[in-house]
Structure 1
């Protein structure tokens, strides 16, 4: 694969903040945001508003609870961690439509986008 093809494929694994934010505003949206951070709520303290918490360590065991007609956006603490990529791999391998949130939670907060107390 050439460099441009690889970069196009790589970038296609991510969803930008503004697409996710618009989807979260629409109750009819097919997008579901998954907080896959492996930490209890007191440590996480907050999450993206409207996100569903499923720790990455539990995701493979909870696939039957997810709707294959939805598109899942996963996020971790920051873009440098691997949990988001592992969760994305699990979802894609199981036949789900899924993306990783570009910039992760750190970037979302940095843009002052809506958060709520962690579940």
Structure 2
């Protein structure tokens, strides 16, 4: 039973990527990482986003997969780690052959660590 728990936790944790790894990749101009803001809200509600993120609402992701580059690694995030939009977006990407992760602690954690954000383009 303990082995099953450990294997489950390894699988679960493999779905996430930490903030430091993402920040390091965003600082690299040749990075293969693309950060996707998958929050389903208009720009005026979102307010800000992770610096350099691309907005693609989770509700629209499946219909816009052809606009994504299969050679990139996608990092999706939502408002908080407890919401499901990031997980839904991750499932869509992984199910369609993309390499993808969900940002651990989401936007809330990113902002809590005072990492770079920018206003959401209107």
Bin for the TM-score computed over the shorter chain: over 0.9
Kindly provide the CA deviation profile for residues 30-80 of structure 1, in whole angstroms up to 9, marking residues without a partner as x. Answer: 000000000000000100000000000100011000000000000000001
Tell me the equivalent position of 1:100.
102
Q: 1:115 aligns with which of 90, 99, 117?
A: 117
Task: Give the aligned partner of residue 73 of structure 2.
Answer: 71
Shift of 1:27: 1.1
For 1:5 and 1:20, the matched residues in 2 are separated by 25
Paired residue for 2:55, among 24, 46, 53? 53
Q: 2:24 maps to which residue?
A: 22
Normalised by the length of structure 2, the TM-score is: 0.96
Superposition CA RMSD, Å = 0.7
Which runs of 5 or more residues in structure 1 are unaligned? none
Moved over 4 A (4+): none
Structure number with greater Rg is 2
Question: How far did residue 13 of structure 1 move?
Answer: 0.2
Where in structure 2 are there 5+ consecutive unaligned residues?
A: none
| Alpha-carbon distance between aligned partners in 1 of 2:120 and 2:16, rounded to the nearest angstrom | 23
* TM-score w.r.t. length of structure 1: 0.99
Q: Tell me how many residue pairs correspond in the alignment.
A: 119
Once residues 59 and 100 of structure 2 are traced to their aligned partners in structure 1, the CA distance between those partners, rounded to angstroms, is: 17
